[in-house]
A and B are shown apart, each in its own frame.
Chain A
Amino acid sequence: KNEVEQSPQNLTAQEGEFITINCSYSVGISALHWLQQHPGGGIVSLFMLSSGKKKHGRLIATINIQEKHSSLHITASHPRDSAVYICAVNSGTYKYIFGTGTRLKVLA
């Protein structure tokens, strides 16, 4: 069993839908990161959080430390949101553990 599990693995949505991607982890962490990887391959950091909730535009990330669970929400989804979303945790000072990613496709 992976130490970082994401669900779903694949997700297809219609434009405008509210989207939720989940991340569960089994190790103690100092921080959790949400990353976005576009079809061109580049990886961009969306959020880093260690508690509570963060919002940036249409993206919202939440974390529940007690339940070892985080969610990434996308409101009013758009085709340009189509990407792979990756959850990663810091389990030690210099160690990231990455999930395998959620492939999102938003249809116009």
Chain B
Amino acid sequence: NAGVTQTPKFQVLKTGQSMTLQCAQDMNHEYMSWYRQDPGMGLRLIHYSVGAGITDQGEVPNGYNVSRSTTEDFPLRLLSAAPSQTSVYFCASSYTGTAEAFFGQGTRLTVV
């Protein structure tokens, strides 16, 4: 039972580069979400999805795209990386939007 698998664990990008953070869950959860964690701040919601084909913006969506073509996968795309996107990113899933959440191991992203 893998739970939520998030890759990569670490990544360094140059300003302007693009990349995709992968997130997959094997619990058949409808609700998936992406957060960023910055020093001195709580986790902030970037984008979320309530099911395959349905996505919506969270608190800090600018510079990020998501898609949900299957229940299992919810990738996060950085279109043109900026130093302000240096952060730790977490993917999470839950059975519903208010149920217990399961988190991936996080991706530490540095944009130089």
Contact = CB atoms under 8 A, between A and B. Distances in A.
A33 B94 CA distance: 13
A94 B103 CA distance: 16
Interface string B73-112: 0000000000000001010100001111111011010000
Contact of A98 (B43, B50, B100, B106): B43
A45 B42 contact: no
Interface in B4-26: none
A93 B42 contact: no
Nearest to A97: B42
Contacts, number: 56
Given A95-B45, A101-B42, A48 B108 contact: no
B42 A90 contact: no
Contact count band on B: 20 to 34
B31 A94 contact: yes
Interface string A70-98: 00000000000000001010100111111
Given A41-B106, A94-B31, A48 B100 contact: yes
Interface of B is mostly: strand
Contact count band on A: 20 to 34
Contacts of A90: 97-98
B106 A42 contact: yes
B98 A42 contact: no
B108 A41 contact: yes
A45 B41 contact: no
A21 interface: no
Nearest to B106: A41
Nearest to A45: B100
A4 interface: yes
A74 B92 CA distance: 25
10 contacts: A35-B101, A35-B103, A41-B106, A43-B90, A43-B106, A45-B103, A86-B43, A90-B97, A94-B56, A96-B45
Interface of B: 31, 33, 35, 40-45, 48, 50, 56, 88, 90, 92, 97-103, 105-106, 108
